[in-house]
Protein backbone atom coordinates (compact mmCIF):
# COMPACT_ATOMS: atom_id res chain seq x y z
CA UNK A 1 0.00 0.00 0.00
CA UNK A 2 1.61 3.23 -1.21
CA UNK A 3 0.83 6.39 0.73
CA UNK A 4 1.14 9.95 -0.56
CA UNK A 5 1.28 13.16 1.37
CA UNK A 6 -0.89 16.01 0.17
CA UNK A 7 -3.00 19.04 0.98
CA UNK A 8 -6.75 19.49 1.18
CA UNK A 9 -8.17 21.87 -1.42
CA UNK A 10 -11.63 23.33 -1.98
CA UNK A 11 -14.37 21.20 -3.47
CA UNK A 12 -13.45 17.90 -1.83
CA UNK A 13 -10.14 17.77 -3.65
CA UNK A 14 -6.57 17.04 -2.60
CA UNK A 15 -3.35 18.13 -4.28
CA UNK A 16 0.08 16.54 -4.13
CA UNK A 17 3.20 18.71 -3.95
CA UNK A 18 5.62 18.46 -6.88
CA UNK A 19 7.92 15.72 -5.52
CA UNK A 20 5.01 13.51 -4.49
CA UNK A 21 3.32 14.12 -7.84
CA UNK A 22 6.42 13.11 -9.77
CA UNK A 23 6.76 9.95 -7.66
CA UNK A 24 3.07 9.15 -8.16
CA UNK A 25 3.00 9.68 -11.94
CA UNK A 26 6.56 9.08 -13.16
CA UNK A 27 7.69 6.28 -10.82
CA UNK A 28 4.46 4.51 -9.90
CA UNK A 29 2.80 5.40 -13.23
CA UNK A 30 -0.56 6.33 -11.74
CA UNK A 31 -3.04 7.81 -14.18
CA UNK A 32 -6.34 9.72 -13.96
CA UNK A 33 -9.02 7.41 -12.61
CA UNK A 34 -6.64 5.47 -10.31
CA UNK A 35 -7.40 5.24 -6.60
CA UNK A 36 -4.66 6.57 -4.33
CA UNK A 37 -4.27 6.99 -0.58
CA UNK A 38 -3.27 10.44 0.60
CA UNK A 39 -2.52 11.52 4.15
CA UNK A 40 -2.82 15.11 5.28
CA UNK A 41 -0.04 14.71 7.87
CA UNK A 42 -2.48 15.77 10.58
CA UNK A 43 -4.18 12.48 11.32
CA UNK A 44 -6.49 11.68 8.42
CA UNK A 45 -6.03 9.39 5.43
CA UNK A 46 -8.08 10.08 2.32
CA UNK A 47 -8.97 7.54 -0.30
CA UNK A 48 -8.96 9.55 -3.53
CA UNK A 49 -9.45 9.22 -7.27
CA UNK A 50 -6.90 10.98 -9.49
CA UNK A 51 -8.52 13.63 -11.70
CA UNK A 52 -5.37 15.31 -13.01
CA UNK A 53 -2.24 13.15 -13.40
CA UNK A 54 0.25 15.96 -14.03
CA UNK A 55 3.70 15.04 -12.63
CA UNK A 56 3.97 18.69 -11.54
CA UNK A 57 0.81 18.62 -9.43
CA UNK A 58 -1.55 15.68 -9.08
CA UNK A 59 -5.14 16.57 -8.19
CA UNK A 60 -7.47 13.97 -6.75
CA UNK A 61 -11.09 13.78 -5.65
CA UNK A 62 -11.76 12.59 -2.10
CA UNK A 63 -13.89 9.42 -2.04
CA UNK A 64 -13.61 8.51 1.64
CA UNK A 65 -11.76 9.76 4.71
CA UNK A 66 -10.33 7.78 7.63
CA UNK A 67 -9.72 9.96 10.67
CA UNK A 68 -7.15 8.76 13.21
CA UNK A 69 -5.73 6.31 10.67
CA UNK A 70 -2.66 4.57 12.13
CA UNK A 71 -2.97 6.45 15.41
CA UNK A 72 -1.82 5.17 18.80
CA UNK A 73 -3.59 5.32 22.17
CA UNK A 74 -1.19 7.71 23.89
CA UNK A 75 0.49 11.08 23.36
CA UNK A 76 4.27 10.89 23.59
CA UNK A 77 6.88 13.60 23.48
CA UNK A 78 10.35 12.11 23.07
CA UNK A 79 12.83 14.78 24.12
CA UNK A 80 16.10 13.12 23.15
CA UNK A 81 19.46 14.81 22.83
CA UNK A 82 20.97 14.54 19.35
CA UNK A 83 23.60 11.82 18.97
CA UNK A 84 27.15 12.58 17.82
CA UNK A 85 26.45 10.51 14.73
CA UNK A 86 23.49 11.95 12.79
CA UNK A 87 22.56 8.65 11.20
CA UNK A 88 21.91 7.10 14.58
CA UNK A 89 19.44 9.86 15.47
CA UNK A 90 17.70 9.46 12.15
CA UNK A 91 17.41 5.75 12.87
CA UNK A 92 15.88 6.59 16.27
CA UNK A 93 13.36 8.92 14.59
CA UNK A 94 12.40 6.21 12.09
CA UNK A 95 11.87 3.57 14.79
CA UNK A 96 10.03 5.97 17.12
CA UNK A 97 7.61 6.83 14.32
CA UNK A 98 7.12 3.18 13.40
CA UNK A 99 6.00 2.53 16.99
CA UNK A 100 4.18 5.81 17.53
CA UNK A 101 5.44 9.19 18.74
CA UNK A 102 3.79 12.62 18.64
CA UNK A 103 6.62 15.04 19.12
CA UNK A 104 10.38 14.75 18.93
CA UNK A 105 12.44 17.42 20.65
CA UNK A 106 16.20 17.61 20.07
CA UNK A 107 17.16 18.87 23.50
CA UNK A 108 20.69 20.20 23.83
CA UNK A 109 22.15 19.19 27.18
CA UNK A 110 25.14 20.84 28.79
CA UNK A 111 27.21 17.75 27.88
CA UNK A 112 25.88 17.44 24.34
CA UNK A 113 28.71 17.11 21.85
CA UNK A 114 26.37 17.74 18.95
CA UNK A 115 24.70 21.14 19.09
CA UNK A 116 23.87 21.55 15.42
CA UNK A 117 20.78 19.77 14.20
CA UNK A 118 19.41 19.58 10.67
CA UNK A 119 15.70 19.87 11.43
CA UNK A 120 14.66 19.91 7.77
CA UNK A 121 16.48 16.68 7.03
CA UNK A 122 14.95 14.96 10.06
CA UNK A 123 11.49 16.22 9.01
CA UNK A 124 11.96 14.64 5.58
CA UNK A 125 12.96 11.36 7.21
CA UNK A 126 9.94 11.62 9.49
CA UNK A 127 7.56 12.04 6.53
CA UNK A 128 9.01 9.02 4.80
CA UNK A 129 8.78 6.93 8.00
CA UNK A 130 5.16 8.02 8.50
CA UNK A 131 4.22 6.91 4.99
CA UNK A 132 6.16 3.67 5.23
CA UNK A 133 4.57 2.71 8.56
CA UNK A 134 1.04 3.55 7.38
CA UNK A 135 0.30 6.42 9.70
CA UNK A 136 -1.49 9.64 8.87
CA UNK A 137 -0.03 12.09 11.37
CA UNK A 138 3.50 13.44 11.01
CA UNK A 139 4.97 14.01 14.47
CA UNK A 140 6.19 17.48 15.29
CA UNK A 141 9.95 17.75 15.00
CA UNK A 142 10.97 20.76 17.09
CA UNK A 143 13.91 23.01 16.47
CA UNK A 144 16.78 22.25 18.88
CA UNK A 145 16.20 23.73 22.32
CA UNK A 146 18.38 24.01 25.43
CA UNK A 147 17.51 21.79 28.37
CA UNK A 148 16.59 24.80 30.52
CA UNK A 149 14.28 26.25 27.86
CA UNK A 150 12.66 22.86 27.35
CA UNK A 151 12.03 22.45 31.09
CA UNK A 152 10.68 26.01 31.26
CA UNK A 153 8.00 24.94 28.76
CA UNK A 154 6.45 22.87 31.54
CA UNK A 155 4.92 19.40 31.65
CA UNK A 156 1.29 20.46 31.61
CA UNK A 157 -0.76 17.45 32.71
CA UNK A 158 1.71 14.93 31.26
CA UNK A 159 3.70 12.28 33.09
CA UNK A 160 7.35 13.35 32.88
CA UNK A 161 10.19 10.83 32.98
CA UNK A 162 13.90 11.55 32.80
CA UNK A 163 16.30 8.68 32.05
CA UNK A 164 19.63 8.99 33.83
CA UNK A 165 22.49 6.54 34.40
CA UNK A 166 23.05 7.50 38.06
CA UNK A 167 21.00 8.25 41.18
CA UNK A 168 20.15 11.94 40.84
CA UNK A 169 19.57 14.46 43.61
CA UNK A 170 16.85 17.03 44.06
CA UNK A 171 17.49 20.74 44.60
CA UNK A 172 17.89 20.08 48.34
CA UNK A 173 20.69 17.60 47.68
CA UNK A 174 18.66 14.49 48.57
CA UNK A 175 18.96 11.41 46.40
CA UNK A 176 15.79 10.67 44.44
CA UNK A 177 16.08 6.95 43.65
CA UNK A 178 15.31 6.03 40.06
CA UNK A 179 12.53 3.58 39.27
CA UNK A 180 12.53 1.26 36.29
CA UNK A 181 10.81 2.98 33.35
CA UNK A 182 8.26 0.14 33.02
CA UNK A 183 7.32 0.53 36.67
CA UNK A 184 7.00 4.30 36.40
CA UNK A 185 4.69 3.85 33.41
CA UNK A 186 2.59 1.12 35.02
CA UNK A 187 2.08 3.23 38.17
CA UNK A 188 0.35 5.94 36.17
CA UNK A 189 -2.65 5.71 33.88
CA UNK A 190 -1.74 9.03 32.30
CA UNK A 191 -1.60 8.59 28.54
CA UNK A 192 0.29 11.85 28.01
CA UNK A 193 3.97 11.16 28.53
CA UNK A 194 7.17 13.17 28.10
CA UNK A 195 10.48 11.29 28.22
CA UNK A 196 13.85 12.98 28.46
CA UNK A 197 16.93 11.08 27.26
CA UNK A 198 20.37 12.65 27.57
CA UNK A 199 23.42 12.80 25.31
CA UNK A 200 26.38 10.37 25.22
CA UNK A 201 27.73 11.83 28.49
CA UNK A 202 24.27 11.83 30.13
CA UNK A 203 22.50 14.80 31.71
CA UNK A 204 24.54 16.67 34.31
CA UNK A 205 23.50 16.40 37.98
CA UNK A 206 22.28 20.02 37.76
CA UNK A 207 20.09 19.21 34.76
CA UNK A 208 18.69 16.12 36.46
CA UNK A 209 17.83 18.09 39.59
CA UNK A 210 16.24 20.87 37.51
CA UNK A 211 14.11 18.22 35.79
CA UNK A 212 13.09 16.75 39.14
CA UNK A 213 12.11 20.25 40.31
CA UNK A 214 10.04 20.56 37.13
CA UNK A 215 8.12 17.41 38.04
CA UNK A 216 10.04 14.71 36.16
CA UNK A 217 10.45 11.26 37.72
CA UNK A 218 13.98 9.86 37.35
CA UNK A 219 13.97 6.44 35.68
CA UNK A 220 16.44 3.82 34.56
CA UNK A 221 16.09 1.79 31.39
CA UNK A 222 17.46 -1.47 32.74
CA UNK A 223 21.04 -2.31 33.56
CA UNK A 224 22.55 -2.63 30.09
CA UNK A 225 24.94 -0.01 28.78
CA UNK A 226 22.89 1.52 25.99
CA UNK A 227 23.82 3.85 23.20
CA UNK A 228 21.95 7.16 23.27
CA UNK A 229 19.71 6.25 20.34
CA UNK A 230 18.97 2.83 21.83
CA UNK A 231 17.97 4.47 25.11
CA UNK A 232 15.69 6.85 23.18
CA UNK A 233 14.20 4.00 21.20
CA UNK A 234 13.64 1.95 24.38
CA UNK A 235 11.97 4.91 26.08
CA UNK A 236 9.52 5.05 23.18
CA UNK A 237 9.19 1.24 23.22
CA UNK A 238 8.33 1.31 26.94
CA UNK A 239 5.41 3.63 26.27
CA UNK A 240 4.36 1.75 23.12
CA UNK A 241 4.44 -1.58 24.98
CA UNK A 242 2.69 -0.38 28.13
CA UNK A 243 0.03 2.07 26.94
CA UNK A 244 -1.70 -0.20 24.40
By CB under 8 A, name the binding residues for its own copies.
70, 72, 91, 95, 98-100, 133-135, 180-182, 221-227, 230, 233-234, 237-238, 240-242, 244
Helix 86-99 to helix 228-242 angle, to the nearest 10 degrees? 0
Query: Residue 151 or 217: which CB sits closer to its own copies?
Result: 217
Could you tell me the smallest distance in angstroms from the CB atom of residue 47 to its own copies? 17
| Cβ-proximal residues to 129 (8 Å cutoff; 6+ apart), any chain | 93, 94, 97, 98
Return d(Cα 87, Cα 75) in angstroms, integer.
25
CB of 140 to its own copies, least distance (A): 18
37/150 with CB nearer its own copies? 37
Least distance between its own copies and beta carbon 152 (Å):
31
72 vs 114 by CB, closer to its own copies? 72
| Shortest separation between residue 85's beta carbon and its own copies, angstroms | 13
Cβ atoms 45, 33 nearer than 8 A: no
Residue 243: CB minimum distance to its own copies, A: 10
Q: CA-to-CA distance for 126 and 116, rounded, in angstroms?
A: 18
Closer residue to its own copies in complex, CB, 12/222: 222
Q: Whole-angstrom Cα distance, residue 194 to residue 211?
A: 12
> Which three-class secondary structure state does DSSP give residue 92?
helix
Closer of 60 and 219 to its own copies (Cβ): 219
C-alpha 137/C-alpha 132 separation (Å) is 12
Amino acid sequence: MEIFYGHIEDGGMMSLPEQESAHCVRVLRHRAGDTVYIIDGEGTMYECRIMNDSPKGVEAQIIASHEGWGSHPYHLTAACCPTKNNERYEWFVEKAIEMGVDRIVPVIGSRSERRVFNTDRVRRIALSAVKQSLKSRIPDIDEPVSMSDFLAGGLGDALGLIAVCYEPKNAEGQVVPRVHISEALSRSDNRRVVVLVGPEGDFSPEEASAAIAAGYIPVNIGTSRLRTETAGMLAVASVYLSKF
